[in-house]
Amino acid sequence: MSIPDSAMLQPADVQEQPGYPASGIAPYLQPPRPCADTRYPSDELRIDSRSLTFIYSRSYQRTDSGLPESRLSPGIDANRSQLVEYVALYRPGGAQQFLAEFRAAMAPSMLPTSAQATTGYAQCPQGSGTGGRRWAFMGPVNPGYSRDRLWVDVTSENRPGAATRTNITTVGVERVGNAVVVVANLGSEYADGDIKLVANIHGAASHRVEKAFS
């Protein structure tokens, strides 16, 4: 069984923007494996996977790049951000196993905020295949949603020109039946990912998957 086009986000879900194959874009999210240099056991149960990327335009709540306007590259639009959708289809039980492995990998960051202040996030070791990114568990979307949808922030260094700034990618991970749906907002060169944007798009992505395999 393969993942049909109908299971993926459509232009109508993303400001009528076309989606393009996302192979090689944010590979650490396809699938998300915090701090892992090796495959997860659940990878053996994965039947198929697909990914798309979209460019989304919106007004960010925080658009300050931290740089003088004179240092911004010509033509940069801080309100244009990149989305990545990843859908993986598993044999029965595989999606649940992946989510359990994902939760276990995120365990160091699933602490109360006060504890995080002293222990830090799930900091990946330097030299690992993840490039030393920080993975922070942000919790379920809200109490009204299934606990199988989780929010994660991934922090990494971004070097626009001569400057260095941290960039936060906001990621939603959800199990939908025998599938795992990942929607990530990579932000832009000068703006972080936006959790509200991911929440809106993730709902459409999960609905597409549920409908395609119902």
Domain ranges within the chain, ordered by starting residue = 17-59+79-212
Read off the pLDDT of each residue in 13-19 and give the average, rounded to a whole number: 89
Cα separation of 14 and 11, whole Å? Answer: 5
List the one residue out of 99, 87, 188 whose CA is nearest residue 137. 99
Instruction: Give the tokens for residue 74.
Output: 């010509």
Query: Higher pLDDT residue, 183 or 155?
Result: 183
Greatest mean pLDDT range, 32-41, 46-55, 61-70, 182-191: 46-55
Nearest C-alpha neighbor of 130 from the set 147, 154, 100, 106: 154
pLDDT in tens, 50-104: 999 998 875 433 334 333 333 233 344 556 788 999 999 999 999 999 998 888 8
Report the CATH number of the 17-59+79-212 domain.
3.40.1000
- The DSSP bridge pattern shows strands 122-123 and 134-140 to be antiparallel
Which residues are within 8 A (CB) of 166 and not within 5 positions of it... i.e. 6 or more apart? 155, 156, 157, 158
Cα separation, 53 vs 23, whole angstroms: 9
Strand partners of residue 154: 135, 169
Nearest alpha-carbon partner for 125 in 38, 41, 36, 40: 36
pLDDT exceeds cutoff 70 at 44: yes
Helix (H, G, I), strand (E, B) or coil at 6: helix
How would you class 117 by CB atoms within 10 Å of its CB: exposed for 0-12, middle for 13-18, buried for 19 or more? exposed
- Reported as a single tens digit per residue, the pLDDT across 95-127 is 999 998 888 877 765 554 444 443 444 455 443
User: How far, rounded to the nearest angstrom, does the alpha carbon of residue 201 sit from its chain's CA centroid?
Assistant: 12
